[in-house]
Amino acid sequence: MSLIGEQTHSKLVAYGLWIFGFLGAHRFYVGRTVTGTIWLCTLGLCGVGWFLDLFLIPRLVKQANLKFVNGSYDFSVAWLLHAYSGIFGAHRFYLGKWGTGLLYLCTGGLAGIGVVYDYFTLNSRVSDKNAEGRPAWWA
């Protein structure tokens, strides 16, 4: 079992998502949903915030590693599945959510609304799955 503070998020994945960072994907990945939403609505603060994130990503990843619980479910895998096949529910299948995975598969991620919702909740969902089965004192 892994402890909080071990690597949960990858700089490589964060930089990969940063390429489309003007839409906030890298900020959602590191658990910054408020600024991710701002980046999404303002196209990365008109590109200025997006450029500055090039230098901020190592710190954002370090903070994410301290915030989320590591375990058998990999955050990077879940996020890459979400980014590239979210409308098909691949990230939900990965987390064992077969019912909603099938629902996403049949409805295109509930017409995209569910995919956007998952930007806000995927980190906590993976962290919760990693914490399942651990004794109460572990947290």
Could you tell me the pLDDT band of residue 13, with boundaries at 50, 70 and 90? very high
Could you tell me the pLDDT band of residue 2, with boundaries at 50, 70 and 90? very low
64 Cβ contact partners less than 8 Å away, ≥ 6 residues apart: 8, 9, 29, 30, 31, 123
Supply 36's token pair: 């991710």
- Asked whether residue 105 carries a pLDDT value surpassing 60, the answer given is yes
Q: What separation in angstroms does the CA of 56 have from each of 49, 68, 139?
A: 10, 19, 28
Task: Quote the mean pLDDT of the chain.
Answer: 90
Rounded Cα distance between 39 and 23, Å, is 6
- Asked whether residue 139 carries a pLDDT value surpassing 90, the answer given is no
Which phi and psi angles does 39 have, rounded to 5°? -60, -40
4 Cβ contact partners less than 8 Å away, ≥ 6 residues apart: 66, 67, 68, 69, 70
- Asked whether residue 104 carries a pLDDT value surpassing 70, the answer given is yes
- Asked whether residue 4 carries a pLDDT value surpassing 60, the answer given is no
